[in-house]
Amino acid sequence: MWGDVPVAATILSGTDLSAEIRAEVAAGVVEIREKHGVTPGLAVILVGDDPASAVYVNNKQRACEQAGLYSDSARLPGSATEKEILAAVHAFNEDPRVHGILVQLPLPDGVEQHRIIEAIDPDKDVDGIHPYNLGKLLQGRPDFAPCTPAGIVELLMRNGHDPTGANAVICGRSDIVGKPLAALLMQRGRGGNATVTVCHTRTRNLAEVTRAADILVAAIGRPEAITADMVKDGAVVIDVGINRVDDPSARRGYRLKGDVEFESVSQKASAITPVPGGVGPMTIAMLLVNTLTAARISIHGRHHSG
Ligand SMILES: Nc1nc(=O)c2c([nH]1)NC[C@@H]1CN(c3ccc(C(=O)N[C@@H](CCC(=O)O)C(=O)O)cc3)C=[N+]21
Ligand SMILES: [Mg+2]
């Protein structure tokens, strides 16, 4: 506060930080190519024609190409069978140009998602969602942390918001965001040491819990679910939401809205991520980081120091 005028929060730009990290990845790509003659490669498997998923996959492939990585994709129709998706996974498991494999989730109804994830070679699981990698994450020795949680931790750390000792409250318990983020924030070591609470649809007195957060992460999937009354003065607020809201005046006919009511919450928070330009670009940057790690693992093996 400045007198009675609320000072708007610092904007935590995922666009800027992701550019920095992607430049670091590009340098790592050059090094691996010079030392080992290997170009790190990522393959994305996209099933169905959800337009939002197509945008993310295209963003991922563009980021790969800009960082000098090899990239490939398999695009299957929404009618693809489990057997056909498994065949695409197996082909990339065997492809020596491909070090990282990402299966875009969610998969169409009727496909047994866990069977597909378990088919990914854990050494190529750059999403960090194979049970082996999730297990290592829970033990505090991840090789591949899921990209969105890893991106959130980088956003915090590189903006001077070390979670150590903080009350971190995560709204959302998905396998790909809420649960792995809880593991990262609670672990011993860099980016961890927080006191973590995970909220979900059955949480009682949600606003009471979120108001205790020094770090508040919204991964709910509902536009503007977090309002100013739910936020403590000075909190750091991370918005994972990417909700498309109809807007006939917008160029594409929709606008992106986060899970946080930005206008009001940014008057109360000390720092906040925007949507777009926050967590989304960080997810992609960490995917490239993990692909570099996968290429190193293919050369040197996993390090058994943890
Ligand atoms: N196995 C798997 N791993 C994922 O990491 C994964 C997934 N499945 N399924 C879908 C979600 C979503 N996701 C995003 C990636 C980039 C942006 C992104 O680039 N966002 C831009 C804008 C995008 C736009 O214009 O729509 C931004 O926020 O600024 C958003 C969301 C990765 N996901
Ligand atoms: Mg292997």
Cβ neighbors of 105 (< 8 A, separation 6 or more) are: 113, 129, 176
Residue 226 CB coordination number (10 Å): 26
The reply to whether 91 and 210 lie within a common domain is no
Of 121, 154, 188, the last residue of a domain is 121
The reply to whether 184 and 217 lie within a common domain is yes
Q: Note whether residue 268 is domain-resident.
A: yes
Of 88, 121, 154, the last residue of a domain is 121
The reply to whether 105 and 158 lie within a common domain is no
Q: Are 135 and 175 in contact (CB under 8 A)?
A: no
Ligand nearest to the CA of residue 113, numbered in listed order? 1
Active site (annotated) includes residue 232: no
Query: Does ligand 1 lie within 6 Å of residue 104's CB atom?
Result: yes
Q: Domain holding 98: CATH number?
A: 3.40.50.10860
pTM over 0.80: yes
Is the pLDDT confidence value at 207 over 60?
A: yes
The reply to whether 150 and 276 lie within a common domain is yes
Domain containing residue 151:
146-280
Query: Does ligand 1 lie within 6 Å of residue 107's CB atom?
Result: no
Cβ neighbors of 146 (< 8 A, separation 6 or more) are: 127, 128, 129, 137, 176, 177, 180, 181
Is the pLDDT confidence value at 94 over 60?
A: yes
The reply to whether 103 and 49 lie within a common domain is yes
* Percent of all residues in the chain with a pLDDT value above 90, rounded to a whole number: 96
> pLDDT value at position 296?
97
Query: Does ligand 1 lie within 6 Å of residue 283's CB atom?
Result: yes
Q: What does the pLDDT look like over 134-157, one tens digit per residue?
A: 999 999 999 999 999 999 999 999
What's the 187 CA to ligand 1 centre distance in angstroms? Answer: 25
Q: What does the pLDDT look like over 245-283, one tens digit per residue?
A: 999 999 999 999 999 999 999 999 999 999 999 999 999
Q: Note whether residue 243 is domain-resident.
A: yes
**How many structural domains compose the chain?**
2
Is the pLDDT confidence value at 86 over 90?
A: yes
Whose tokens are 């750091």? That residue is 236
What's the 124 CA to ligand 2 centre distance in angstroms? Answer: 8
The reply to whether 267 and 154 lie within a common domain is yes
| Candidate from 16, 18, 113, 283 with most ligand 1 atoms within 8 A of CB, to mutate | 283
The reply to whether 82 and 162 lie within a common domain is no
The reply to whether 263 and 160 lie within a common domain is yes
Please, what's the b/e burial string for 54-77 (b: 16 or more CB within 10 A of its CB; e: otherwise)?
eebbeebbebbeebbbbbbbbebe
Q: What does the pLDDT look like over 114-132, one tens digit per residue?
A: 999 999 999 999 999 999 9
The closest of 105, 152, 112 to 127, measured between CA atoms, is 105
Check residues 87 and 2 and name the one with the higher pLDDT: 87
Check residues 209 and 306 and name the one with the higher pLDDT: 209
pLDDT grade for 303, boundaries at 50, 70 and 90: confident
pLDDT grade for 5, boundaries at 50, 70 and 90: low
pLDDT grade for 302, boundaries at 50, 70 and 90: very high
Calculated CA dihedral for residues 306, 35, 18, 194, nearest 10 degrees: 10
pLDDT grade for 208, boundaries at 50, 70 and 90: very high
Q: Domain holding 166: CATH number?
A: 3.40.50.720
Nearest residue CA, atom 21 of ligand 1? Answer: 280
Task: Please state whether beta strands 271-272 and 243-246 pair in parallel, antiparallel, or not at all (unpaired).
Answer: unpaired
* Percent of all residues in the chain with a pLDDT value above 70, rounded to a whole number: 97
The reply to whether 196 and 108 lie within a common domain is no
Active site (annotated) includes residue 60: yes
Is the pLDDT confidence value at 305 over 60?
A: no
ipTM of this complex: 0.96
Q: Which listed residue (121, 125, 127, 214) is catalytic?
A: 127
Sign of CA dihedral 297, 299, 304, 306: negative
The reply to whether 164 and 274 lie within a common domain is yes
Active site (annotated) includes residue 72: no
What is the overall mean pLDDT for the chain? 96
Q: Which tokens sit at 91? A: 């082909």
